[in-house]
């Protein structure tokens, strides 16, 4: 945590922002049960941006697989469980781990890793069907992951 805050401060000074401060996808550390305990950016997430990301196809597209009653996206899918009350069931660190790469929490899950750059089999360039560029970015950047986590933390039923 300390390191990230320090880096963020340095980055801000150089006006280089996010790219500097972010933990790179390859460097993310998961606990045995799939938690990621430190923020990827050291910046707090914005739940309203997170809500937007969760309903946007080219971004998180969470609603294609999950019902989230708090979002007014149409045709929410049911490949995954409903996310209502997710913050009652999971800690922030666990939710961050699930969004970054859910395979550390649920072995073999179909849920895609949102902050992962490989290794993949035949990675593509978005939804074009063409080969991915060598520096394929993760689906969400670090701050977007933090935004989604902040949004998930608002999903309380109790």
Q: Which helix (H) or strand (E) holds 31?
A: none
Residues touching ligand HEC, count (CB under 6 A): 25
Tokens at residue 12, please?
């801000």
> What is the CB-side half-sphere exposure of residue 122 using CA atoms within 13 A?
4
Residue burial 133-156, b: 16+ Cβ < 10 Å; e: rest: eeebebbbbbbbbbbbbbbbbebe
> Any residues with CB less than 8 A from the CB of 33 and at least 6 apart, and which?
94, 104, 105
Task: Please pick, from the candidates 7, 30, 65, 84, the single residue that binds another protein as defined by CB under 8 A.
Answer: 65
Query: Which of the ranges 11-19, 22-30, 41-49, 96-104 carries the binding residues for ligand HEC, by CB under 6 A?
Result: 96-104
Phi/psi of residue 131, nearest 5 degrees: -65, 150
Q: Is 85 in the site for another protein (CB under 8 A)?
A: no
Minimal distance, residue 93 CB to ligand HEC, in Å: 12
* Among another protein, ligand HEC, none, residue 44 binds (CB under 5-8 Å by kind): none
User: Is residue 124 a contact point for ligand HEC (CB under 6 A)?
Assistant: no
Secondary structure letter of residue 131 according to DSSP: B
* Smallest separation (angstroms) from another protein to the CB of 119: 10
What residues numbered 112-151 form the site for another protein, per CB under 8 A?
A: 112-113, 116, 120-132, 136, 139
Which residues share a beta bridge with 131?
A: 124
Please report, as ranges, the residues that interact with another protein according to CB under 8 A: 57, 61, 63-65, 74-81, 106, 110, 112-113, 116, 120-132, 136, 139
Interacting residues with ligand HEC (CB under 6 A): 54, 60-62, 64-66, 79-81, 83, 86, 89, 95, 98-99, 102, 106, 109-112, 114, 148, 152
């Amino acid at each position: 945590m300390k390191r990230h805050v320090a880096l963020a401060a340095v980055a801000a000074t150089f006006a280089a922002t996010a790219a500097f401060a972010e933990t790179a996808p390859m460097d993310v550390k998961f606990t045995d049960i799939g938690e990621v305990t430190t923020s990827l950016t050291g910046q707090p997430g914005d739940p309203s941006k997170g809500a937007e990301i969760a309903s946007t196809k080219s971004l998180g597209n969470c609603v294609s697989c999950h019902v989230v009653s708090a979002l007014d996206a149409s045709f929410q899918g049911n490949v995954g469980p409903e996310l209502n009350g997710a913050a009652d069931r999971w800690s922030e660190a666990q939710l961050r781990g699930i969004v970054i790469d859910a395979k550390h929490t649920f072995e073999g899950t179909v849920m895609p890793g949102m902050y992962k750059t490989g290794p993949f089999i035949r990675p593509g360039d978005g939804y074009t069907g063409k080969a991915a560029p060598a520096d394929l970015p993760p689906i969400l950047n670090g701050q977007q992951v933090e935004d989604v986590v902040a949004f998930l933390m608002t999903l309380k039923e109790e």
